[in-house]
Amino acid sequence: MFVDVWEWRMEIDESLVVADETEIREQVAEYTVGERKEFDLDVDYPDSFTGRVMTAMAGVPRGETRTYGEIAGELDTAAVAVGQACGRNPVPLVVPCHRIVGANGLGGFSGGDDDRLGLKERLLELESA
């Protein structure tokens, strides 16, 4: 399913979220206008390396960031592998891959159609990270 996040379109794999499309869309809309601070949606994490990275990302609180290297240290892997897994996050925003940044900058971002780093920056600004 696609959701609108300001002027960006973001794809969310709703098959991994334990909620119907209406609930997902409502929570995304509330989040983008500042009415919601966290998502109240259960996610079925894949039983894979990407799922392990998603679990680590979900543990990063709003208003904070972690580097790819910090997550890699938690998972005993390489920062590049964490970055690749972040890029495969099938439920961006709900599992906050935007909170994972490079050691010297924003890094990448898989959410949104165009200007993905602009979206990542705006999400971090919304969360005051």
* HEC assignment per residue over the chain: CEEEECCEEEECCHHHECCCHHHHHHHHHHHHCCCCCCCCCCECCCCCHHHHHHHHHHCCCCCCCEEHHHHHHHHCCCHHHHHHHHHCCCCECCECHHHEEECCECCCCCCCCCCHHHHHHHHHHHCCC
**What is the DSSP pairing of strand 66-67 with strand 100-101?**
parallel
Question: Which amino acids are annotated catalytic?
Answer: 97
